[in-house]
Structure 1
Amino acid sequence: MMKRILPHPALSAMLLVVWLLMANRVSVGGIVLGALLALVLPKFTEPFWPDRPRVRFGRALLGYLVIVLYDIVVANFHVARLILFRRNRDLRSRWLVIPVDLTTPEAITVLAATISLTPGTVSADVSADGGYLLVHALDAPDPEAEIARIKTRYEAPLRRIFA
């Protein structure tokens, strides 16, 4: 019964939160309209989600979010220091080809988005089979170390989250 009403509970919760954030205030009408959208939209989009990803909410996801937020803050300062105190010719920008062990498209998308959210790196392409990510790094003196960092810091937790 509950699955018929809420086919995608996480999506419904996210839609409600995004609606309230877009409204920029919490009111009874905003909550009612947001809840209505959160119930109706997943029901209409259910046929487009035949293989719904299994996401583990909990300690693994919370730990991943903390790591990503920390890395975003640190990378902002690192990129600012690079821009302010280094000359362009001293930057060692590189294209990195990162082998991906994740299997679901949603997990690969989250990995690519995480890399792009972190200042100094941007995901440029995903191979057709989803086995490789092409990433541009603003300053990567040791490309192998950068690839290993991405795999251990982001990909390994995502394998636990999208198990």
Structure 2
Amino acid sequence: MKAWFPAPLLSLAVFVVWLLLAATLDPAHLLLAAVLAVLLPLAAQRLRGESAGIRRPLLAVRLGLRVLGDIVMSNLEVAGRILGRESKIHPGFVWIPLEITNPHGIAALAGIITMTPGTLSAELAPDGRHLLVHCFHLDDAAATIAQIKQRYESPLREIFP
């Protein structure tokens, strides 16, 4: 079964997206969606490196919900700072020392940081041990580092082996 469906979630996504784009449930489109759902992941398998290997999917869901909440709160905070006095904004860069070594986990961390308004992943050190983050407002670098490590990196270390 794994030979035909190397990435079952990707196959399901291809199937559903094709039907949504076609906006019909005609038998021909159902068949085409099924064929694409088998063939595209097989073709994409050659492009993929090692599998992400998520270890704790429920923790991943909780982290996703946390990130969504943080995105909303960060939007409000950034909007308040933008509408306030410019002198109260203190942008800056901070290097986050990484304990996570899984490349998928590092990519997820960088993506989470970038998706959260007010922060942006700028660079990964060549050795993969530090992530440079730009903060729209940086009062306390140590507190920002601690917050990112506790809220995002710690769960990601459990999710990605």
TM-score (structure 2 length as normaliser): 0.87
The residue matched to 1:55 in structure 2 has which SS?
coil
Which deviations, in whole Å up to 9, do the C-alpha atoms of 1:75-109 show, x marking residues without a partner?
Answer: 0000000000122x321111010011111211111
The residue matched to 2:110 in structure 1 has which SS?
helix
Kindly report the root-mean-square deviation, in angstroms, between the aligned alpha carbons of the 2 structures.
2.1
Aligned residue pairs, count: 159
Percent of matched pairs sharing the same residue? 40
Runs of 5+ unmatched residues, structure 1: none
The residue matched to 2:104 in structure 1 has which SS?
helix
Pairing partner for 1:103 from 93, 98, 101 = 101
Instruction: Return the letter of the residue paired with 2:115.
Output: L
Instruction: Return the letter of the residue paired with 1:85.
Output: G
- When residues 74 and 124 of structure 1 are mapped into structure 2, their CA distance, relative to the original with a 3 A threshold, is same
After TM superposition, give the deviation of residue 16 of structure 1 in Å. Answer: 4.0
After TM superposition, give the deviation of residue 12 of structure 1 in Å. Answer: 2.5
The residue matched to 1:48 in structure 2 has which SS?
coil
Please tell me whether residue 158 in structure 1 is matched to residue 156 in structure 2: yes
- When residues 33 and 125 of structure 1 are mapped into structure 2, their CA distance, relative to the original with a 3 A threshold, is farther
- Partners of 1:53 and 1:70 lie apart in 2 by 25
- Partners of 1:31 and 1:105 lie apart in 2 by 36
Q: Where do residues 11-160 of structure 1 align in structure 2 (5 Å cutoff)?
A: 11-19=10-18, 23=21, 26-28=23-25, 32-56=31-55, 58-87=57-86, 89-160=87-158
Runs of 5+ unmatched residues, structure 2: none
